[in-house]
């Protein structure tokens, strides 16, 4: 028995994971099935792809409407997942470490025999899952600023390119807000980098509390930050900029050292490149600084 390739199946349109696994794939012995699943899982370090493979194998045990995976690096759903009458949850443990939480959904009940068979599959997944989690975590760390946890410049550049491409395809909108701290350099000079780090962390916290989780937040290094807005948020970009300025002004460490923020905003125009959009926002930022700081200017 051999697993069918993911590329050969239109997973988003599958009604259940039992439905996409035909008899020709699933009629062989149980031991060979587990060995083949393990071999396939070991060929990928992508969490979403591993989940798809696992869900297909689990769907052979019981018709499933959905499989969800919760990890420290994010939450994932097998393609086409939907809620159902019955749910079964499992903790994927490896050497006393919880790797993930797994939830199955089915319109059929989870009998003790079904649960036992699912647990056998889960054991096969543990080591490939651990390896995929490590790789995913390293990839995330490469795109994050270590001090604030915000996205770094590389992540910003990638996100901006994707936002512009999406706007072109859908005739949508995107905007860039560049934020620079006023009077920050004198804090580092007079009180040291520890005080400066406290301010940077406080600013990141203010940005998180002001903006929704769907907004993209970045720190370029030093005291430079950015926000990438898409969709309906673009029309409120100036209001969002003013909220950020006020939120930062209310932070204790910022008040203590008289640190404020200036913001420059630029909305993407048709056929405008990522570089031109960034330059427009940067010019607006300098206009805010020249106008007296602690304010917002829009290109």
Q: What is the per-residue pLDDT across 199-229, written as a single tens digit (0 to 9) for each?
A: 999 999 999 999 876 558 999 878 999 999 9
Whether 169 is in a domain gets the answer yes
Which residues, including other chains, have CB under 8 Å from residue 242's CB and lie 6 or more apart?
A: 296
- pLDDT recorded at residue 35: 56
Whether 216 is in a domain gets the answer yes
Evaluate the CA torsion angle 276, 296, 165, 72 in order and state its sign. Answer: positive
Whether 19 is in a domain gets the answer yes
- pLDDT recorded at residue 220: 87
Residues 64 and 12 in one domain: yes
- pLDDT recorded at residue 141: 83
Q: Identify the H or E element spanning 282.
A: helix 274-290
Residues 171 and 292 in one domain: yes
H-state helical runs in 62-172: 112-142, 153-170
Q: What is the per-residue pLDDT across 19-75, written as a single tens digit (0 to 9) for each?
A: 333 333 333 444 444 458 889 999 999 999 999 999 999 999 999 999 999 999 889
The single residue listed with the structure tokens 């008289």 is 258
Q: Domain boundary at 115, 142, 169, which?
A: 142
Q: What is the per-residue pLDDT across 231-254, written as a single tens digit (0 to 9) for each?
A: 888 999 999 999 999 999 999 999
Burial 270-292 (b: 16+ CB within 10 A, else e): eeeebeebbebbbebbebbeeee
Contact 260, 202 (CB under 8 A): no
The rounded radius of gyration (Å) of the Cα atoms in the chain is 25
- Parent domain of 119: 6-142
Which CATH number covers residue 256?
A: 3.30.70.270
| pLDDT over 80 (residue 78) | yes
Number of domains in the chain: 2
- pLDDT recorded at residue 103: 97
CA 138 to CA 127: how far, in whole Å? 17
Nearest C-alpha neighbor of 155 from the set 227, 257, 53, 232: 227
- pLDDT recorded at residue 104: 98
Query: CA 120: distance to chain centroid?
Result: 30
Nearest C-alpha neighbor of 92 from the set 66, 125, 114: 125
- pLDDT recorded at residue 232: 85
Total-model pTM? 0.65
Whether 147 is in a domain gets the answer no
- pLDDT recorded at residue 215: 58
Q: Domain boundary at 98, 115, 142, which?
A: 142
Q: Which residues belong to the active site?
A: 223
Residue 123's pLDDT band (boundaries 50, 70, 90)? very high
Residues 67 and 26 in one domain: yes
Q: Is 227 strand, coil or helix?
A: strand
More confident residue, 20 or 114: 114
Which CATH number covers residue 85?
A: 3.30.450
H-state helical runs in 211-273: 237-249, 252-256
Whether 148 is in a domain gets the answer no
More confident residue, 107 or 13: 107
- pLDDT recorded at residue 13: 38
Residues 173 and 289 in one domain: yes
């Amino acid at each position: 028995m051999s697993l069918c390739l993911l590329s050969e199946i239109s997973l988003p349109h599958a009604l259940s994971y039992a439905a996409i696994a035909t008899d020709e794939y699933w009629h062989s012995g149980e031991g060979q099935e587990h060995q083949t699943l393990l071999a396939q899982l070991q060929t990928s370090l992508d969490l979403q792809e591993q989940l798809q493979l696992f869900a297909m194998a689990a769907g052979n045990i019981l018709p499933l409407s959905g499989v969800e995976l919760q990890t420290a690096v994010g939450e994932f759903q097998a393609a086409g997942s939907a809620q159902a009458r019955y749910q079964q949850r499992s903790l994927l443990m490896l050497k006393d470490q919880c790797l993930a939480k797994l939830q199955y959904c089915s319109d059929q009940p989870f009998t003790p025999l079904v649960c036992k068979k699912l647990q056998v599959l889960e054991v096969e997944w543990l080591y490939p899952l651990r390896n995929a989690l490590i790789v995913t975590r390293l990839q995330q760390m490469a795109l994050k600023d270590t001090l604030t946890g915000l996205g770094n410049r590389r992540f910003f550049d990638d996100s901006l390119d994707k936002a512009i491409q999406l706007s072109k395809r859908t005739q949508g909108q995107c905007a860039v807000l560049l934020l620079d701290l006023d009077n920050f350099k004198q804090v580092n000079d007079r009180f040291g980098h520890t005080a400066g780090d406290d301010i940077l962390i406080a600013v990141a916290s203010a940005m998180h509390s002001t903006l929704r989780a769907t907004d993209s937040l970045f720190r370029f290094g030093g005291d430079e930050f950015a926000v990438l807005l898409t969709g309906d948020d673009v029309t409120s970009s100036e209001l969002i900029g003013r909220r950020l300025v006020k939120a930062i002004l209310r932070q204790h460490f910022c008040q203590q050292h008289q640190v404020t923020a200036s913001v420059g905003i630029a909305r993407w125009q048709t056929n405008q490149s990522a570089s031109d959009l960034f330059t427009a926002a940067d010019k607006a930022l300098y206009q805010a600084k020249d106008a007296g700081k602690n304010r917002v200017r829009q290109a």
